Amino acid sequence: DLRFSQTGFGLKLQLDLMIAKNLDASLMERELLRTILLEMIYRKESHIAAGSIFVEPPDWLIDGVLALAPGSDHGQLVEALTTAYKTESLEMFLRQRPGLLDSAGRTLYRAYSFALVQMLIDGRNGPARLAQYIGHLSNASNEPLADLKAQFPFLLGDAEQPWQLTLSRLRNLQRYQLLTFAESERRIDELLHVKISEATKPAKPVGLDELAQRKASPNEKIALNQLGHDLLSFVAEANPVLRPIAREYQEIVALLARGKRKRIAKRLSRLEVTRKQLAARMSDIDDYMNWFEATQMKSGSGNFTDYLKAVDQSQLSVPKRHDPLSVYVDALEDQFGN
């Protein structure tokens, strides 16, 4: 519990910590960092009027600094950036309210926070400018991007360009790791929709099953050759369970590019059935592992921490107010409720 008070010498911060068996170390670390950032924000503010509203450090700053702490695991954050359906612009991200996000959205928010703080400290005199930015937060405006631009000159002009470059660089870290089964499945689905470009028409996706029924056009053969190269590269990072399937797709694409369609339709149908069977089996394995973690393991992986915390908080009763009006309303509720 963090308490604020104003003394004759400036802001007083008091962090009350109750030691318990189920102490959440990550929450304690977050509150300590929040306290430190508040001290930095108001370090030079010795004359604060009574009743003033104190400016809290932005959530992205807290999440980003925590993510960059020594020993932090960046794998989950990089994975969230890689699998995100769409990329948020820097301005939209800065206006997000993480308290309204679900668990997956909260993870993605932490990933963006990690990327933003990394981008800021990687710039020229980054750490010093970040400290200067924190020191000016007490006078922050309602335009968070403008406040950042005031302290980080490289964001002046098109701030979106360095933001997107940073996200792209972090996503590339994932290339050196094997994809999960679900990620490999999504990647196969993306690759198998061949996009055919024509001079006078917009590019349109064509499935392999369609190309197996007719002769490929010159443009389609070019697209198939490119798809073959993409599948060959994909095999190296695909989940081992799906590598044989990816290789067979690559062989089929090579045959179609050469105009050979014999028994291709049957092979595609068989591969589709095999993929469905594998997906069902992997889903069963995931369900079993989740059950095992929830009921048999002595220590959890932490994947469900946010969900369990939300459930616990939803079950907490809201403390009653003791002002005269609230006491009167509670008495009426008890009277008519009985």
Q: What is the 3-state secondary structure (H, E, C) of 154-213?
A: HHCCCCHHHHHHHHHHHHHHHHHCCCCHHHHHHHHHHHHCEEECCCCCCCEEECHHHHCC
Residue with tokens 């069977």: 277
Question: Is the pLDDT at 232 greater than 80, yes or no?
Answer: no
pLDDT in tens, 84-104: 878 889 999 999 998 888 888
The band of 83, judged by pLDDT with boundaries at 50, 70 and 90, is confident
In whole angstroms, what is the distance from residue 147 CA to residue 151 CA?
7
Q: What is the pLDDT of residue 334?
A: 73
Percent of the chain with pLDDT over 90: 16
At a CB cut-off of 8 Å and minimum separation 6, what does 115 contact? 64, 81, 163, 166, 167, 170
The domain limits of the chain are 2-176, 181-295
Q: Which of 86, 82, 133, 76 is nearest to 106 (CA)?
A: 76
The band of 59, judged by pLDDT with boundaries at 50, 70 and 90, is very high
CB 60 within 8 A of CB 93: yes
pLDDT in tens, 153-205: 889 888 899 999 888 888 876 555 677 888 888 888 888 877 776 666 666 77
Q: What is the pLDDT of residue 90?
A: 93
Long-range contacts of residues 6-10, Cβ cutoff 8 Å, at least 24 apart = 6/48, 6/50, 6/52, 9/46, 10/42, 10/45, 10/46, 10/48
